[in-house]
Amino acid sequence: MRRPHHPFATIPPVSVPQNSAVLVITLDGAPLTLEAMALVARGGARIELGAEARRRMEASRAVVERAAAGSEPVYGVNTGFGSLAKVRIGRDDLRALQRNLIRSHASGVGEMLPSSTVRAMMAALAASLARGMSGVRPAVVEQLGRMLEADVIPIVPSRGSVGASGDLAPLAHLALALMGEGDSTLLGLLTRTGHALKARGIEPLELDAKEGLALINGTHAMAAIGGLALLTAERVVRAAVRSAALAMDACLASDAFLDERLHAARGQPGQIEVAAMLRRELDGSRIVQSHRENDPRVQDPYSLRCTPQVLGAAIDALRFVRGVVERELGGVTDNPLVFPSGAGVDRDIVSGGNFHGMPLAIALDLAAIALAPVAGIAERRIYWVLGGADPFTKLAPHLAHEPGLTSGLMISQYAAAACCNELQTLCTPACVANIPTCAGIEDYNSFGATSAHKFDRAVRLARTVVAIELLCMTEALERHRPLTSGPRVEAVAALVREVAPASTDDRPPAPLIASIDALIDAGAFDESPHRP
């Protein structure tokens, strides 16, 4: 079905309102932080080109213009692309070459990327170009900045990148919008890009030599998708640690396995950190004190006892992933690159493979794998508390108020199991399989964009499982009243109760899970507002 267009025919050109609350990020060649990219993604910051970055861009642009005026073949400037690189292009056709490149490569398929992700792509792309190694004019970065500020956001299909010669297809759709072509959203409504730019008083950009290639020959799509997902994953893991602490008191677990000496003996940093966090969460718990004596149990199940080891390993892995993503956001992934030295075009324009997405692909595949045990161990704790396997806790099966007449949270565990099963399928790495492209000249691809999409989906599934655990463990904690946990655990339970009030009968858990999921996504469990 053809998508409707809203041409904004009645909207006159308007100036972009200046919002003093919007942070200005000056692109000066420094790495774009994950947090800064996320701020641009949600509309809380705009970008502008710094003076030193402009100088570097103008210097590298002069090299490209000399190459365009010369007679020697220079890839991306006066040749075809990929397997067509041996075809020479005349000077009169250099702009048409770049325009045709963008049009022909805009072949993305599948559902559209969220506008926030596209905004992140635009910020990452602008920051890379501003480093002055791509040979584009400052006007290209300025066009990206104008469109972000005016909220003209390209429509970008999510699939089509093989993650090697850059994220060609998705970035081509983005670049198409800079030229005033294709579809975009303006104020969240779908329209033709040309109409949106006109409404905002922005002229379409005519691409010059090499500029089209520079716009699409980078890893900015996978970096944006993976980077935003990573920030969410970090919130999920922080919530998972706090949920685990809640589970320990809900299940009347011992705190002996959190002994600092035990974790120091192994020396794994994430494990040591999680154990310390759990000790802090449980500090002041009257529930722990209530069963220190006369408890017939010798050891708790792995899902409780091994929480520091499991969540700590995930934290260590995600920290490695963050390092890879941050380096990518501080690098230049174009090809060829321009290094103005005055030594001549053959020395100043260097072809290579910085566009290859394997660094991100491996890292983002690892990130999805790291989240599987975060969700998996949470699901096992859910199973443990609902299954009534430990009679010492005196918890009713499935936390039902009248077992048999009511089913309690029985099917919440099913939902968690379903999420874990799907998450397990997402742990098959995308980066280990290869499908050649471009008539064999691009014969080893990373499929890093697939890795990013898988990771993004894995994050959402893991977040839901942790939300289910928070719901179940808050309910279980209530069954131990009048005993109370430590102030920090009680603060977590209070947050859950804000969106999932206590009940005395069966009710649909789905909206409760969704509300807790939203709290995790918003970072509510990073540091509880109820914390003393």
**Catalytic residue positions?**
75
Place of tokens 């339970």: 493
CA of residue 330 relative to chain centroid, distance: 16
Q: Which amino acid, 106?
A: A
Sequence-ordered list of residues with C-beta below 8 angstroms from that of 363, at least 6 positions apart, any chain: 226, 320, 321, 324, 325
| 309 within 8 A of 271, measured Cβ to Cβ | yes
> What is the identity of the amino acid at 374?
V
Q: Are 59 and 340 in contact (CB under 8 A)?
A: yes
Count of CB atoms within 10 A of residue 242's CB?
24
| Residues 449/170, Cβ–Cβ less than 8 Å | yes
Q: Given 3-state DSSP classes, what are the helix, strand and coil percentages for the chain, each rounded to the nearest 5?
A: 55, 10, 35
Which class for 48: exposed (0-12), middle (13-18), buried (19 or more C-beta within 10 A)? Answer: middle
Q: How many CB atoms lie within 10 A of CB 394?
A: 10
Q: Per residue, what are the HEC states of 469-502?
A: HHHHHHHHHHCCCCCCCCHHHHHHHHHHHHHCCC
Q: Give Dmax (Cα) for the chain.
A: 89
Distance of alpha carbon 111 from alpha carbon 3, whole angstroms: 12
Numbers of helices and strands, H then E, in the chain: 20, 9
Instruction: Name the nearest CA neighbour of 90 among 69, 104, 75.
Output: 69
| Beta-bridge partners for 166 | 164
- In angstroms, rounded to a whole number, what is the distance separating the alpha carbons of residues 438 and 492? 53
Contact 429, 423 (CB under 8 A): no
Instruction: State the Cα torsion 207-182-35-202 to the nearest 10°.
Output: 60
CA–CA separation, 249 and 240 (whole Å): 15
What are residue 492's phi and psi, to 5 degrees?
Answer: -65, -45
